[in-house]
Each structure stands twice: as C-alpha cells, then as structure tokens.
C-alpha cells in the first residue's frame, strides 16, 4: 500500500473549499435532558452513535442535538475487540461518565441486556444514571453470542420492571428494545414493545427494522415514542427519512458514521505519512474546519478552559503546545459554553 502511494503529493484543501455547517443558532446551546429535547422538538431528533469524547465532540460541533452510545463501537474503540460480550458495565459506565461530563448535548446509552438478570439490570441502571445517561436502551436478546434468540417474554419484562424501578424519580427514561426479526417475528416483537410501553417504558425500538413499511407496521401496533434504529441506505437511497417517520411516532433516529469516519481519516493520513515517512501530508492538509497542522487541539476549544481559570485568579492565560500558540476555535461550528462541558 505504501509503495502504491509513494509518489502522491499531499492534497492541500484550502479553507475556502471546506464545507462548514452554519450552526450559530446553536452557539448558546445549554445542557438539557434528552427527555426535554424530545418533548420540545417539532421533528424527529437524529442522534449519531458515538464511542468516546472525541466522537461526541465532533457530533456536538456540527449541531446535532443528541447522541447515542454504541455498545459495539465502544467495544471496538475501548477494548479493541468486536462486540461479543467483552465490554462490561464498568467499561460502559466509565466512558458514559467521561462523555456526559464534557459535552453540552444529552446521551442515550446502549446497556445491552443489562449485564445480567433483574438485579444486575437494576444496579446497572442506577450506575448509568449516576454516570449521566439521559436514556438507556435495554434489549431482549437471550445471550450475547446469540442475539437473534429472544428471552422468554416474562424474563424480559422482569428486566424492564427492574430498569423502570431504578429510574423512578430521575429524568432518565427507558428505551425498550426487541431483537425480533421483522421478517418472521414482527408481531412478537411489537407485542413485547407494546407491553413494555404499557409498563412505563417511555420509548421503544424494534431494532432490526430498516424500511418505511416496517415503520408503518410498528406504528400500528406500538404506542408512544419510538426510535428508528441505525438508518442506512438501501439500494443507494435512504431507507427512511425523518419527514416520513416522524408522523408515525418515531421521534428519535440513530445512525452510525463516527467510527468509520475516524478510521477512514486515520488510514488516509497513515497511508500517506507512512509513504513519506513523516507528517507532511497531515500538516499541510486542511481539515473540515479549514485548520491545517498536526493537532486537533483547537477543535476542543482550549482557550475556553483558560478563560474559565482566569475568572478564578484574574491572570489571563493562553493555551500553548510546546510553547506554540493554538489556533482559535473555528468559526461556523457550535461552541458550547465551557460551563456545559465541565
């Protein structure tokens, strides 16, 4: 691979050529609960899946109002292994607390099957609420090595009741999830979600649906808030759009792109830097904000931290890296208040 690109020159993208989302209307965004975001929204809220503080930062900067912690991508990014039961409640709780403490937008989190029986679900729910999760998704899979086999209904309902009991008196809500196959078990999955909603789950998701027809069928059988999971392209076209599914009660939609985008960028830069045996490509290539150089530090708004510290001591400070000045936060992106990121 390196030999194939050895003759390539760095692709320098001028700032004027970058496409920047104009999100000034969100510049004064204040941290709020996911429940509140959904209650006040007049359209489907799109929540990209994230896996760490950097991916959460990127989602916040472009203007998304919420995000979803992906169990699968946490497993890949945090532990370096596929999602096969290797990630535990401690891993999930830890990364949740880090993300929620450093972002202004709310986070829903995937807690798999709750990491055990009803008591484990109750304890996991308590811990995740303390970590800052605004909603928790709880699935009805029989086991991690067989996610298509469903728990008996009553066994899943025990877990739902345990999660709801742990959420009492908090602003966190339950996203009940079924792994039922829409092709063979749609009615079973929808009945489980209907029952979960009746028990008190604020939102439900039939996690394997992909099409508008699926959404319509779910809407006819399951009341209340619904999540459309992991929207994707089908035959080169979006499986659904937010405008199509919102009237059906789907007010929350998730999607994956952050980990693929991160790996794509790292591999692109890595191929060229390896071929050059240096960092020239990275230093000369403007990123999506128009900033050049080898550091992503400006995107994390270090000057806001310095401004906050200056309030305590009166001495004005500037953030530097090895004595060098750091670029200002890029224009055209959400700059959430520092108080909402600490």
pLDDT along the chain (342 residues), means of 10: 38 37 46 96 98 98 98 95 93 98 97 97 98 98 77 98 98 98 97 98 98 98 98 96 98 98 98 97 94 92 94 89 87 94 88
Bridge partners of residue 107, in order along the sequence: 67
Q: Is 59 exposed, middle or buried (0-12, 13-18, 19+ CB in 10 A)?
A: buried
Q: State residue 219 phi and psi, 5-degree precision.
A: -60, -30
Contact 278, 7 (CB under 8 A): no
Phi-psi sector, 341: left (phi>0), alpha (psi -120 to 50), beta: alpha
Task: Give the residue among 213, 203, 217 at the shortest CA–CA distance from 163.
Answer: 203
Contact 65, 105 (CB under 8 A): yes
Rounded alpha-carbon distances, angstroms, from residue 236 to 233, 239, 282: 6, 9, 32
- Given this model, what pLDDT does residue 142 score? 87
Task: Give the residue among 90, 34, 78 at the shortest CA–CA distance from 254.
Answer: 34
Rounded alpha-carbon distances, angstroms, from residue 221 to 9, 43, 59, 133, 191: 57, 21, 33, 28, 7
Strand 135-139 and strand 107-110: the pairing is parallel
- Given this model, what pLDDT does residue 16 score? 35
Task: Classify each residue of 67-86 as buried b or exposed e, where b means 16 or more C-beta atoms within 10 Å of its C-beta.
Answer: bbbbbbbbbbbbeeeebeee
For residues 246 and 178, give the distance between their C-alpha atoms in angstroms, rounded to a whole number. 20
Strand 233-234 and strand 141-143: the pairing is unpaired
- Structural domains in the chain, CATH included, are 12-19+278-340 (no CATH), 24-259 (3.20.20.60)
Contact 53, 36 (CB under 8 A): no
Contact 292, 327 (CB under 8 A): no
Contact 136, 172 (CB under 8 A): yes
Contacts of 25 by beta carbon, 8 Å cutoff, 6+ apart: none
For residues 46 and 36, give the distance between their C-alpha atoms in angstroms, rounded to a whole number. 15
Bridge partners of residue 136, in order along the sequence: 109, 174
Q: Is 138 helix (H, G, I), strand (E, B) or coil?
A: strand
Contact 232, 214 (CB under 8 A): no
For residues 195 and 291, give the distance between their C-alpha atoms in angstroms, rounded to a whole number. 51
């Amino acid at each position: 691979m390196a030999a194939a690109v050895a003759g390539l020159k760095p692709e320098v993208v001028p700032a004027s050529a970058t496409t920047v989302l104009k999100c000034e209307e969100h510049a004064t965004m204040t941290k709020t609960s996911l429940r509140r975001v959904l209650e006040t929204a007049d359209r489907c809220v799109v929540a990209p899946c994230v896996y760490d503080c950097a991916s959460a930062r990127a989602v916040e900067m472009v203007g998304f109002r919420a995000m979803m912690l992906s169990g699968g991508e946490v497993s890949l990014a945090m532990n370096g292994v596929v999602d096969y039961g290797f990630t535990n409640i401690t891993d999930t709780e830890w990364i949740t607390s880090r993300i929620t403490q450093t972002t202004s937008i709310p986070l829903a989190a995937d807690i798999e099957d709750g990491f055990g029986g009803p008591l484990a679900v109750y304890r996991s729910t308590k811990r995740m609420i303390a970590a800052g999760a605004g909603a928790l998704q709880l699935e009805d899979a029989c086991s991690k090595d067989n996610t298509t086999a469903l728990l008996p209904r009553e066994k899943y309902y025990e877990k739902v009741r345990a999660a709801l009991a742990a959420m009492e008196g908090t602003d966190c809500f339950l996203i009940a999830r079924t792994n039922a196959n829409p092709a063979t078990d749609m009615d079973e999955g929808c009945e489980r979600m209907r029952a979960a909603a009746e028990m008190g789950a604020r939102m439900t998701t039939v996690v394997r649906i992909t099409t508008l027809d699926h959404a319509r069928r779910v809407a006819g059988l399951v009341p209340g808030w619904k999540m459309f999971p992991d929207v994707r392209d089908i035959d080169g076209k979006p499986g659904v759009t937010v405008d199509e599914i919102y009237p059906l009660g789907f007010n929350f939609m998730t999607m994956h792109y952050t980990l693929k985008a991160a790996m794509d960028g790292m591999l692109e830069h890595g191929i060229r830097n390896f071929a050059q045996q240096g960092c020239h490509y990275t230093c000369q290539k403007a990123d999506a904000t128009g900033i050049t150089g080898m550091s992503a530090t400006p995107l994390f708004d270090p000057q806001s931290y310095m401004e906050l510290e200056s309030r305590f001591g009166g001495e004005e400070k500037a953030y530097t890296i090895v004595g060098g000045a750091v670029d200002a936060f890029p224009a055209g992106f959400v700059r959430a208040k520092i108080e909402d990121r600490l």
